[in-house]
Structure 1
């Protein structure tokens, strides 16, 4: 299957391949986002040596230790042409063997070394990072024809040990690529390439479930409706993604159980919680370990750290933003005797309709750049967040899905509505909108204008209240590149 999209990343890798100096490239991103596939396609036929670390946990649940990782590395060397020798005793020896292997093959042309799932190789007390430092600093960086590409799904490990390393690898990476999930536009191109006929309405829903992760998207079968495909992936007795949730965390984090506890708790409220809330409700100690766990989940794009509009910058909130996790925890985990056709049989239920509303709001947050483009403010510096105001005896509170605060003294108060037809403003909703606008205007500077903005699927019905929204953005706008 040919790669779709990723033109920017492919061009970057090809330019780095053609440079006249040694390159150390770090590629990272969420598990299943297509990092390995990108490198294989961009540098097809040009990789001199490749190796992928062993998963930290094998099928029996046992840990793969340093000895097994070294044995696997030695086997990779042999499979790719190294003469039979002996298994290296440590990583320093393993990388020395790699140097010898590359020197024997050196004909002056670019040599690409691709080390995949790098964090898996760094088992406790293995000395892996020290050996990698030695390999690069002592030998590879001085060879103009060397291109080292390292790849991993544990984003926090990649950032801490490579990109932001303060030791021997400080400033050594020459380039980094963070691979993001597909946008709606890229999803549409992917489905077309697979012969899957799907409306933009359903492509949006698929993204709201699968998060634009290419690996998950490959499971959708042509000739089936979206509802049928979702049943096959999540609710069938042999559901393809039934065990994916636990695998996600076991493959990326050293203490996956703690990470899952945090994620489960965050899934219980859409706007998230403070750090103190998380510590109190997960029974995890509110110390440096919790900081590392929250940072790791944030770096891997499972959760987001943000400051609610108008609140203190000293008390960040954390919210779960990974669509797959949100969907799995809401509809799959803990369910007994699941109907194998659950989605098909409940597709118009109140529960699923409510989910669509929340999931569409999250989809809009993931497509802020498209919203800004539609508002013709692509070049304006902005911050985005939700906002809520507690009610009291004197006034009714308010909650706003998305606020875009702009440097040009405008705030877009965004309302997101996922409807199967045009959205119609009723008399009651008109009153709600006026109330929210007035409350927000009271919270901001007098020099700031509040523009009510609607983001919806098929636009706005013209009636006496349609002028309440200064801007209307449709699903088609979110599909813009």
Structure 2
């Protein structure tokens, strides 16, 4: 079953419905669902769909030639002499009926034959620009697509009529994969799997979460058991160093210096490797909300929930879990999930606020939104706010506290939160949101009503559409 991507499909339909030349660059990290999106689009249209492979140029050209010839004639008559001839053949076949050409995993061709970019640029400029043709170039190497296909030094620069970087699902979109789970189980599933469709499809809401963990992550031969390692081996040359960086971050080291010390590597080397992981959308640099990107307070976090889960629970415990057994290991992980979910819940609540902002249901449109941390000048101690949103002029602020615990939000926590917000004196207009998995105490509920504080429980997160 294909779930979500309504806006993305709508864009493809709009581009396809035009009678003018259209060229879309579609890209995103591996497993994000690019090919699935293109296949879903192709179900209702006649398209030339060619998926390149990691092999030499001659073999890809031969496969491409067969794909074209079978589409137009239903038979094959040999490999074209070169890519220029193949593209010219397409030109000769264009008529009033719109032709859609999809080249999936384009980097596999362009990396072994860099000239194809110039050949394609020349074909677009001199043959296709006035034709009823829809071209889609798709790729999983984000850096390659951004630099070698869309970059200013690329021959293809400026030729695309649309660009689309496919993003992972948020918590609400991910919940659609598990209609039979409770709302808490849906959030736990998101905390484990993140918003990658391929990972979400590995779990079944016909089975308890613990069973899914045992069978689909811990079990020998399961897809997710070695997914992180397989992905790193596909993309990187030195997975050992990257593994160490992931483990350091997953176990609490978030500053560059701390990560370098934890894995016993030079800061410069760590910075380079982290930069690669940022390009792959697996790690993100986070700055206290409202501060400049160059802030010395910046930290690094694992942006992919499944990678975070895997390195937090499994990477250093694999031998132990094998001895303990899949079912017992899954139960142990389940017991530790509430503590692990603390940071994930902040991410979920942020995504909820972003949805509200898009619906114009917040007091203002945030210019920055995210965690804030820093020194409290009153106590000279570190303080933090789970979510802090500022407007463009730093006159309006939304302060949020998020609790994923098995007890109601208590009055002492309310007081601590309010004190923490007092150091942000620049905010002329202040708004407060409290999020709690287990609801709120009666005293907190009464006080919040009197003070205009918004209370959000687990079910409320699923009412925003």
TM-score between both structures, scaled by the size of structure 2? 0.84
Q: Aligned residue for 2:431?
A: 451
Q: Aligned residue for 1:31?
A: 30
Q: Aligned residue for 2:309?
A: 327
Cα distance in structure 2, aligned partners of 1:47 and 1:250 = 35
**How far is 1:34 from its partner?**
1.8
Alignment pair present for 1:169 and 2:156: yes
Q: Note closer, same or farther for the CA distance 1:24–1:294 as it changes in structure 2 (3 Å cut).
A: farther
Q: After superposition, what is the alpha-carbon deviation per residue over 1:336-356, rounded to whole angstroms, capped at 9, x for unaligned?
A: 14130145422553x322102
Q: After superposition, what is the alpha-carbon deviation per residue over 1:276-312, rounded to whole angstroms, capped at 9, x for unaligned?
A: 666675736738x956x65553344322233224655
Q: Note closer, same or farther for the CA distance 1:96–1:130 as it changes in structure 2 (3 Å cut).
A: same
Q: Aligned residue for 1:304?
A: 284
Q: Is the 8 A contact 1:153 1:300 kept in 2?
A: no
Q: Aligned residue for 1:12?
A: 11
Matched residues, number: 451
Q: Aligned residue for 2:111?
A: 123
Alignment pair present for 1:183 and 2:170: yes
SS class of match (2:32) = coil
Q: Aligned residue for 2:366?
A: 381
Cα distance in structure 2, aligned partners of 1:296 and 1:378 = 38
SS class of match (1:229) = helix
SS class of match (2:157) = coil
Q: Aligned residue for 1:424?
A: 409
Alignment pair present for 1:345 and 2:365: no
Q: Aligned residue for 1:201?
A: 184
Q: After superposition, what is the alpha-carbon deviation per residue over 1:182-237, rounded to whole angstroms, capped at 9, x for unaligned?
A: 33333333333xxxx21111111111111122212222235311221122111123
Q: Is the 8 A contact 1:228 1:343 kept in 2?
A: no
Q: After superposition, what is the alpha-carbon deviation per residue over 1:360-381, rounded to whole angstroms, capped at 9, x for unaligned?
A: 1233334441354699327613
Q: Is the 8 A contact 2:62 2:79 kept in 1?
A: no
Which structure has greater helix proportion?
A: 2
Equivalent residue in structure 2 for 1:151, among 138, 142, 164:
138
Cα distance in structure 2, aligned partners of 1:386 and 1:323 = 17
Cα distance in structure 2, aligned partners of 1:393 and 1:18 = 62
Alignment pair present for 1:106 and 2:94: yes
Cα distance in structure 1, aligned partners of 2:177 and 2:216 = 18
Q: Note closer, same or farther for the CA distance 1:222–1:460 as it changes in structure 2 (3 Å cut).
A: closer
Q: Note closer, same or farther for the CA distance 1:420–1:201 as it changes in structure 2 (3 Å cut).
A: farther
**How far is 1:172 from its partner?**
0.9
Cα distance in structure 2, aligned partners of 1:277 and 1:343 = 30
Cα distance in structure 1, aligned partners of 2:376 and 2:461 = 33
The correspondence of residues 26-425 of structure 1 with structure 2, limited to 5 A, is 26-55=25-54, 64-77=55-68, 80=71, 81=74, 83-86=76-79, 88=81, 93-100=82-89, 102-103=90-91, 105-124=93-112, 126-143=114-131, 145-192=132-179, 197-252=180-235, 259-269=242-252, 272-274=254-256, 283=265, 286=268, 294=274, 296-309=276-289, 313-315=293-295, 316-335=298-317, 336-338=319-321, 339-342=325-328, 344-346=330-332, 349=335, 351-370=336-355, 372=357, 376-377=361-362, 380-390=365-375, 394-407=379-392, 409-420=395-406, 423-425=408-410
| Greater RCO (CA < 8 Å, at least 6 residues apart) | 1
Q: After superposition, what is the alpha-carbon deviation per residue over 1:381-430, rounded to whole angstroms, capped at 9, x for unaligned?
A: 32023222347995443222221122472222211112356x23143x24
Q: Is the 8 A contact 1:297 1:303 kept in 2?
A: yes
Q: Is the 8 A contact 1:65 1:123 kept in 2?
A: no
Q: Is the 8 A contact 1:437 1:452 kept in 2?
A: no
User: What are the ranges of 5 or more consecutive residues in structure 1 without an aligned counterpart?
Assistant: 56-63
Q: Is the 8 A contact 1:386 1:403 kept in 2?
A: yes
Q: Is the 8 A contact 1:301 1:322 kept in 2?
A: yes
**How far is 1:85 from its partner?**
2.2
TM-score between both structures, scaled by the size of structure 1? 0.82
SS class of match (2:409) = coil
Q: After superposition, what is the alpha-carbon deviation per residue over 1:236-270, rounded to whole angstroms, capped at 9, x for unaligned?
A: 23332112102223444576666555444433437
Q: Is the 8 A contact 1:54 1:72 kept in 2?
A: no
**How far is 1:176 from its partner?**
1.7
Cα distance in structure 1, aligned partners of 2:239 and 2:96 = 45
User: What are the ranges of 5 or more consecutive residues in structure 2 without an aligned counterpart?
Assistant: none
Cα distance in structure 2, aligned partners of 1:254 and 1:333 = 19
